[in-house]
Structure 1
Amino acid sequence: MKNKKWRLGVPRALFYYYYGPWWETFFEALGAEVIVSPPTCREIMDLGVSLAVAEACLPVKVYYGHAAWLASRVDALFVPRLVSVEKKSFICPKLMGLPDMLRAALKPCPPIIDTTVNLARRPEEGLAAAVQGMARSLGVKGYRVDLATAAAEARYHAWLAGQQGDSMAAADCREEEPASGVYRSGSSQGKESRDALQIGVIGHGYLLYDQYLGMDIPGKVKKLGGKVILPENLTTLQVETACRQLPKRLYWTLGRKIMGAALYLMEQENVAGLIHLTAFGCGPDSLVGDLAERYARRRGKPFLLLTLDEHTGEAGLNTRLEAFMDMLCRRRTA
């Protein structure tokens, strides 16, 4: 691939909703044309379900669909092998094995850039090795890698700052971050009343911000008069401080972020209730969801668990959501 202007496919799923701006900026700065798959739709979901193993959770199945959509349209796929993105924490094993799973499922399968990202022991060294590995797959080295890394870091940190903002109020979910396609939190549909209920909506970013896969739960809450607060609206310090209440450190990076956001929001008197969006078949969520619900029950904070799979009907989900919001309204006026 050296000295070639080539098309690199990036599936719009899973960790794209956490690191999409970084990946796009980095590869574009190295001269690649980055092709991101379109937002999830029924066609992509059905394609993924038909290719994936039955034991995979819904987000992984959808990832298969995005990768399959890109396969015939690009020269290579970028599917990093994510082992750990921070010290002493790890990512779900199914995500670690995605490159191998896709090679077995996609026929024909384009070349896959499967750079290993492992920051568990020495974060700085692990990140440097991952960056060099990604650049090496494109035949690039030297100062161009440093310039691309600096550009990616700048855009990524600006994107994170835009998500957090200055308060817990949600940003606009429908507003796309320029060129990345990563949705921000909240929804532009519907209007908040001046005394809107503040609702914490927690879950994985690839559920909350994928409006088809996650059925746009933040948008639905806002339409029902709620003011949405998402994990990305909180700072790392707020989340980590809240997690210190737990008897031991959670093993999974995303599980700890979700649990920390839940614990923090439970302590806020102006937060009326919590909604936890999870995917059927997610092992870490089966623990984190039950743990969060137990803490919410002890503190008297209303808690709604919504579990999604490829068979979930939107009508039933809407009914549960409306009933929960009605209950919170009655609870406030009681």
Structure 2
Amino acid sequence: MTAKVGIPRGLFFYKLYPLWKTFFEELGTEVVVSDQTSKRILDDGVKSCVDEACLPVKLFFGHVINLKGKVDYLFIPRLTSISRNEYICPKFGGLPDMIRNSFDNIPLVIDTEINLRKKKENEIKAVLETGRYFSSDDAAIIKAYEKALESYGNYKKQIESGIFPGDIIDKKLAVLKKPQENALNIAVIGHAYNLYDRYANMDLLRKLKNMGVNPVTVEMLDSGEIDSYAKTLNKQMFWYFGRKAVGSALSISNNENMNGIIYIMAFGCGVDSFVCDMAERNVRNRRDIPYIVLTIDEHSGEAGLDTRLEAFIDMIRWRKKNEADVSAYG
């Protein structure tokens, strides 16, 4: 009987899912993904998670509940670091324990630690540890990982071409609209799980497209350029995402084709609480570009977000047409 591995549709899902999916399938397992985020999943997550957790963690809990009874294993890696000398949010490291202590009768949790802060060799160690749940042949595990890296590389190229991760994963490429030539180019910065979960962000990227905007996300930018701009900071960022966010903001601020920046953060996110401010301050020091921070939480009313979004886009269009020399922030 084929083992079923469940992958919750949350947190690093939109960043790494094709890598994980190919790896497990190459080892002969069936990969099962939780349903699209919905009110039911959000409500389940809110009820089962601690109050002080941020929205993405609460949603992750809801996705775990959605997978209960459907799979033999839950893949919840203990993500400590995915880049040298940088860390991931500490909630990622404690997530497997939070899940185990919050639910009864859950499938076996694969909680391999991924910690590349000091040694790149730890990557292969984590791969082998995970693969040995399903195979005793280390060579086959490495081969499966090589296939996974190939799949992941193709995934990243598609995103860089302007396709949203969710559309790639759900195979909706045929219905995508091409970017409009004369549309505004607006950068949307934030964690992947805030940018691409359509329920969590109230379908913000689609709303921008419907307004005649070309949204450009962090994953669509050149990673080498992001890293180069991040190195201009006074010291290395402690957080992996902090480097990506600030580096992206600086890259965008030096691109005259970009008309504005939207930073999406989840209420209660400790990392974003200072990274978004740091990004804005660095952008302000370099260029007069419209910049707005939108905060999402478990409240599902869209009116407030829609109003701010529409006002922001209208302001940029008015400024571009009538008073290009007017400051974007007073």
Q: TM-score range by the shorter chain?
A: over 0.9
How many residue pairs end up in the alignment? 320
Q: Which residue of 2 aligns with 1:267?
A: 254
- Identify if the C-alpha distance between structure 1 residues 132 and 45 changes in structure 2 by more than 3 Å, giving closer, same or farther: same
TM-score (norm 2): 0.92
Q: Does 2:97 match 1:110? A: no
* 8 Å CA contact 2:54, 2:267 repeated in 1: yes
Q: 2:265 aligns to what?
A: 278
Aligned Cα root-mean-square deviation (Å): 1.8
Question: For the Cα contact (< 8 Å) 2:14–2:166, is it kept in 1?
Answer: no
Q: Does 1:88 align with 2:85?
A: yes
1:70 deviates by 0.5
- Quote how far apart the aligned CAs of 1:198 are: 0.8
TM-superposed CA distance for 1:141, in Å, is: 2.4
Q: Which amino acid aligns with 2:4?
A: R
- With over 3 angstroms needed to count, the CA separation of the structure-2 counterparts of 1:47 and 1:182, relative to structure 1, is farther
Equivalent residue number for residue 35 of structure 2: 38
The partner residue of 2:95 within 80, 92, 98 is 98
For residue 218 of structure 1, what is the aligned residue in structure 2? 205
Q: 1: distance between equivalents of 2:314 and 2:320? A: 10
Structure 2 unmatched runs, 5+:
323-330
Which of 50, 53, 65 is the aligned partner of 2:50? 53
* Aligned equivalent of 1:308, options 292, 296, 300: 296
3-state SS of the aligned residue for 1:201?
A: strand
Q: What are the Cα deviations for residues 245-286 of structure 1, in whole angstroms up to 9, with x where unaligned?
A: 211111111121111111100111111110001100110100
- Paired residue secondary structure (1:66): helix
SS in 2 for 1:260: helix
Counterpart residue identity of residue 23, structure 2? F
Change (3 A) 1:320 1:56: same
**Structure 2 CA distance for aligned equivalents of residues 173 and 222 of structure 1:** 15
Q: Percent identity?
A: 41
Residue of structure 2 equivalent to 1:317: 305
Q: Which residue of 1 aligns with 2:279?
A: 292
In the other structure, the counterpart of 1:163 is: 159
Pairing 1:17–2:9 present: no
Instruction: Give secondary structure in 1 for the equivalent of 2:197.
Output: coil
The structural deviation recorded for 1:295 is: 2.4
What stretches of structure 1 move > 3 A for 4+ residues in a row? 181-184, 191-194
CA drift of 1:98 comes to 0.4
CA shift at 1:183, angstroms?
Answer: 8.5
Residue pairs, 1:183-198, within 5 angstroms: 188=176, 193-198=180-185
Unaligned regions of 5+ residues in structure 1, if any? Answer: none
Q: Tell me how far 1:146 sits from its aligned partner.
A: 2.0
Describe the shift of the 1:161–1:88 C-alpha distance in structure 2 as closer, same or farther (beyond 3 A).
same
Equivalent pair of 1:30/1:140 in contact (CA under 8 Å): no
Indicate the residue corresponding to 1:175 in structure 2: 167
Question: Which amino acid is 1:146 matched to?
Answer: I
Measured after TM superposition, the shift of residue 193 of structure 1 is 4.5
Q: For residue 132 of structure 1, what is the amino acid of its counterpart?
A: L
Instruction: Find the residue that maps to 2:132 and give its secondary structure.
Output: helix
1:154 maps to 2:160: no
